[in-house]
Structure 1
Amino acid sequence: MSEVDDAIASARSSWARISEDRSAPLSIARADTRSRRRTTQAIGKRLTRIAVADGAILVAAVAIGMVVPLGIMGALLVMALLIAATLLFAVWPAETAPTPERLASVDIKALPAQTERWLDAQRPALPAPAVTLVDRIGLRLETLSPQLVAVDDDGEAAQEVRKLIGEQLPAFVKDYARVPPSLRTTPRNGRSPDAELVAGLSLIEQEIADMTTRLAQADLDTLSTRGRFLELKYKDENER
Structure 2
Amino acid sequence: MTEVDQQIERARAVMARISEDYRGQAGAAYRAHGKRIKRRATSVGRRLALICAVDALILIAAAVIGMIVPLGLFGALAVLLLMAAVTIGIALAPVARAPSEKVLREADIKALPAKTERWLEAQRPALPAPARGLVDQIGVRLETLSPQLGRLDGKEEAAYEVRRLIGEQLPAFVNDYARVPEPLRRVERNGRTPDAELIAGLQLIEREIADMTARLAQSDLDSLSTRGRYLEIKYRDEGHGAG
Shared fold per TM-score greater than 0.5: yes
Q: Which residue of 1 aligns with 2:71?
A: 70
- Residue 33 of structure 1 and its aligned partner are, at CA, apart by 2.0
8 Å CA contact 1:42–1:95 kept in 2: the answer is no
Change (3 A) 1:64 1:181: farther
Change (3 A) 1:158 1:66: farther
**Does residue 1:186 correspond to 2:182, yes or no?**
no
- Residue 176 of structure 1 and its aligned partner are, at CA, apart by 1.1
Aligned residues: 223
**Identity over the aligned pairs, expressed in percent?**
61
Q: Which residue of 2 aligns with 1:140?
A: 141
Provide structure 1 residue ranges, at least 5 long, that are not aligned to the other structure: 1-16
Q: Which residue of 2 aligns with 1:7?
A: none
After superposition, residues 23-34 of structure 1 pair within 5 angstroms as 23-24=23-24, 25-34=26-35
After superposition, residues 8-87 of structure 1 pair within 5 angstroms as 21-24=21-24, 25-87=26-88
**Does residue 1:130 correspond to 2:131, yes or no?**
yes
Partners of 2:190 and 2:57 in 1: CA distance: 60
8 Å CA contact 1:104–1:166 kept in 2: the answer is yes
Change (3 A) 1:239 1:37: same
Where 1:187 maps in the other structure, the secondary structure is: coil
Partners of 2:57 and 2:142 in 1: CA distance: 38
Runs of 4+ that moved beyond 3 A: none
- Residue 34 of structure 1 and its aligned partner are, at CA, apart by 1.8
TM-score by length of structure 2 reads 0.85
- Residue 164 of structure 1 and its aligned partner are, at CA, apart by 0.8
Q: Which residue of 2 aligns with 1:100?
A: 101
Where 1:98 maps in the other structure, the secondary structure is: coil
Provide structure 2 residue ranges, at least 5 long, that are not aligned to the other structure: 1-16
Change (3 A) 1:154 1:63: farther
Change (3 A) 1:143 1:98: same
Give 1:83's aligned amino acid.
Answer: A
- Residue 47 of structure 1 and its aligned partner are, at CA, apart by 1.9
Q: Which residue of 1 aligns with 2:218?
A: 217
Q: Which residue of 2 aligns with 1:13?
A: none
Give 1:201's aligned amino acid.
Answer: L
Where 1:21 maps in the other structure, the secondary structure is: helix
